[in-house]
Amino acid sequence: MPEAVRTMVTFRSSVFNKTETKPYFLNPYCFGDDVCRWFITRLRSQAVATDDEPGQEDFGWYFNFQLGDDTYCFVLGFRPDDEGEDGSWLGFLERSVGLIGSLLGRRSRGIPVEAARAIHGALSNASEITEVRWHTKKDFDARAEELGVKEP
């Protein structure tokens, strides 16, 4: 059985907003719009087609990007640490499959490693990003973050 693609990524950064609630946030701690814009800029510099602007979820932000004929969604949110430390960012990949595909649970199925590598390429060699760890959904949901690795 092939190994599951690591579609979830955690990382740390001290340069993005995680303290100032903006008036346009759906919820008070809905941080990540600036991080998504940063990703969009980095992906475009790698010739990856992206949305012009991120969209907002109730807990964070997202944007779509295209690889070949397929479109993927990268969803991002901030997780504060329990001890009041900096916290970390959590991002995960989904496929854009339309309403019927979403209802059938296909958003998380069939994501190729190339989609994760595109996101990783944006994170790589960025001095403002530290502690990048890639996780399978199964391990992450089981709270086994220690099993995360440096690359997808």
User: Treating both helix axes as pointing N-terminal to C-terminal, what angle do 33-45 and 113-123 enclose, rounded to 10 degrees?
Assistant: 100
pLDDT of residue 112: 86
Residue-wise pLDDT for 107-126, tens only, equals 667 788 999 999 999 999 89
83 or 52, greater pLDDT:
52
Helices in the chain by DSSP H: which ranges?
33-45, 98-103, 113-123, 137-141
Is the confidence at residue 1, as pLDDT, over 70? no
Give counts: helices (H), strands (E), the chain.
4, 7
Residue from 30, 118, 34, 37 nearest 72 by CA: 118
The arithmetic mean of pLDDT across residues 77-99, rounded, is 81
Q: Sign of the CA dihedral 112, 5, 121, 11?
A: positive
Whats the size of the chain, residue-wise? 152
Residue spans per domain, the chain: 1-89+116-131
Residue-wise pLDDT for 8-43, tens only, equals 999 999 999 999 999 999 998 899 999 999 999 999
Share of the chain above pLDDT 90, in %: 70
pLDDT of residue 51: 97
Is the confidence at residue 83, as pLDDT, over 90? no
* Angular region, 99: left φ>0, alpha ψ -120 to 50, beta rest: alpha
* Angular region, 84: left φ>0, alpha ψ -120 to 50, beta rest: left
